[in-house]
Amino acid sequence: MAPERAEAVILGAGIAGCALAHHLADRGVAPVVVYDPRTLAAGATGRAAGLVTEQLWDPWDVAVVRESKAEYAELARRHDPSAYDVTGFLRWSTRPDAAEALGRSARTLQQWGVRVEVLEPGELARRLPEGRLNGARAGLWSAADAVVTPSALTEIYAASAARQGVELALGSPPARLAPVAGGWEVGLGDRTVRARQLVVAAGAWSKAILLELGAPAPLAPYRTQAAVLRPSHAPEPGLPCVHDLDDDVYARPEANGRILAGDGTQLVEIDPDRLRTAADDDFVAHLASSFERWYPPWADAELVRAWAGACVATPDRRPLIGPVPEFPGLHVLTGFNGFGVMRAAGAARRLADLLAGGEAATSAREALATVLPDRFDARTPAFPPRPGFTLEGGRDPRF
């Protein structure tokens, strides 16, 4: 049977892959197929915290996240208001070096147009009246930051793409991939699709897929953990997302009086096919200990569920987005270092402009210059994953 023809096949139906399909369809690129052996948002997207903050370390990141945040707000307004909520985001520390870093970070962010302010101890206590933050040296507050429901946004993107003719090929065995003249062949069960463009947007599985294609990339999948808890009394109205830098624990309000908390990241490379999805007991105990120290109302919270997921890191903590050198028609949209939800919409817009060609392609490549895969080569050595919500541009694993 002759191969079916497509302009693009996207490997991965997380928020990034579905956002890319949506934007390609908006630009008239067709036919497009999104393939995933599982379901929508089955990987890191479905396990993500959903925090969208501009408290970042690079102008490119800030611009992309700002664009993503605006797009998510509009999609939620039109389709599912519960999928987007402005909560604000507050980080703090009792450490003098971290307090100094917070101040430096605030000054830099303000130069980039990010609305942040440094809070002194008294202001921190007023912001979290039930907390024990008297020992904190300083905090960094951004009132406009938001939380989203990543799985709901993924479904919105997928539905929009499908309405515009994108095929969602989900739940079938792993695809067979091979380069051919003028593009790529993707075997989907008993059918074969020949596409001019192939986009690997498979999160933690991207490394193995690229290796299979003979195009190794500097990626390191790693394990991270989170939990949903139910405090004995519901979080007070207006509670922001919070991040204790000393314990490296974040928490955000959830519906029905619950909270979502992490960060149980483990800085070793893993095989995502062998991921242990149950959270570790010591991770849950660490959350309880941290809450006991700075927010006692949550210390005895009931554990609703806890889990582990797989994310993927790069050596410089920047994603890989764009064409793979020496492999015509092969592109990547991966390596988000745990911040894929925050960047997905803006990153997908830029890659869609590049793939669509025409006048927008040149400016799109310029807009992706800082994250293009060609900044690495095949000799890039293996590296340990070092993602993290650092204050100083990812240069140091702490501050």
Instruction: DSSP for 43-103, please give it.
Output: SGGGG---EE----SSHHHHHHHHHHHHHHHHHHHHH-GGGEEE--EEEEES-HHHHHHHH
Last residue of a domain, one of 311, 331, 354: 311
pLDDT, one tens digit per residue, over 186-243 is: 999 889 999 999 999 999 999 999 999 999 999 999 999 999 999 988 887 888 999 9
For residues 307 and 322, membership in a common domain is answered with: no
Q: Is residue 286 part of a domain?
A: yes
Beta-bridged to residue 197, according to DSSP, are 8
Q: Kindly tell me if the per-residue pLDDT of 336 is higher than 90.
A: yes
Query: Is residue 75 situated within a structural domain?
Result: no
Mean pLDDT over 40-59 rounds to 92
Same domain, 233 and 306: yes
Tokens matching residue 36:
């995933």
Query: How many domains would you assign to the chain?
Result: 2
74 within a domain of the structure (yes/no): no
For the segment 87-102, the average pLDDT, to the nearest whole number, is 92
pLDDT, one tens digit per residue, over 255-300 is: 889 999 998 889 999 999 999 999 999 999 999 999 999 999 999 9
Pick from 199-208, 370-379, 381-390: least confident? 381-390
CATH (domain of 114): 3.30.9.10
CATH number of 25's domain: 3.50.50.60
Give the integer Cα–Cα distance in Å for 181 and 367: 29
Eight-class DSSP state of 264: -
Distance of alpha carbon 148 from alpha carbon 155, whole angstroms:
13
% of the chain residues with pLDDT over 70: 96
Sole residue written with tokens 């509670």: 239
Could you tell me if 203 and 261 lie in one domain? no
Give the C-alpha distances (Å, rounded to integers) separating 224 from 21, 47, 180, 308, 341.
27, 9, 37, 5, 15
Smallest CA-to-CA distance from 85 within 226, 249, 238, 234 is with 238
pLDDT band at 127 (very low <50, low <70, confident <90, very high): confident
Decide if 243 is inside a domain. yes
Angle between helices 340-356 and 359-367 (to 10 degrees): 150
Angle at 91 between CA 252 and CA 345, to 5 degrees: 60
Task: State which residues form the domain around 302.
Answer: 85-145+221-311
The residues, any chain, with a CB within 8 Å of residue 297's CB and separated by 6 or more, are 130, 231, 232, 233, 235
Torsion sign over Cα 146, 151, 156, 158: positive
Placement of tokens 């928490």 in the chain:
251
Instruction: Say yes or no: 299 and 154 in one domain.
Output: no
Mean pLDDT score, 62-90: 97
Between CA 24 and CA 312 the distance in angstroms is 24
Question: Is 227 found in the same domain as 213?
Answer: no
Separation in Å, CA 212 to CA 176, 242, 310, 362, 369: 10, 40, 19, 30, 26
Tokens representing 369 are 């210059």
- In a shared domain, residues 185 and 202: yes
Task: State phi, psi for 305 to the nearest 5 degrees.
Answer: -165, 155
Same domain for 90 and 189, yes or no, is no
Q: Are 228 and 364 contained in the same domain?
A: no
386 lies in some domain: no
Q: How does residue 148 score in pLDDT terms, banded at 50, 70 and 90? A: very high
Q: Are 226 and 304 members of one domain?
A: yes
User: 220: which 2 tokens?
Assistant: 């390191």
CA angle 134, 136, 137 (to 5 degrees): 120
Residue 58 lies in a domain: no
Query: In this structure, how many other beta carbons lie within 10 angstroms of the beta carbon of residue 357?
Result: 12
Mean pLDDT of the chain: 92
- 162 shares its domain with 297: no
- Residue 234 domain-assigned (yes or no): yes
Of 259, 289, 311, which marks where a domain is finished?
311
- CB distance 52 to 150 below 8 Å: no
Statement to judge: residues 257 and 131 lie in one domain: yes
Please give the single-letter amino acid code of residue 21: A
Asked whether residue 228 falls in the same domain as residue 303, the answer is: yes
* 62 domain-assigned: no
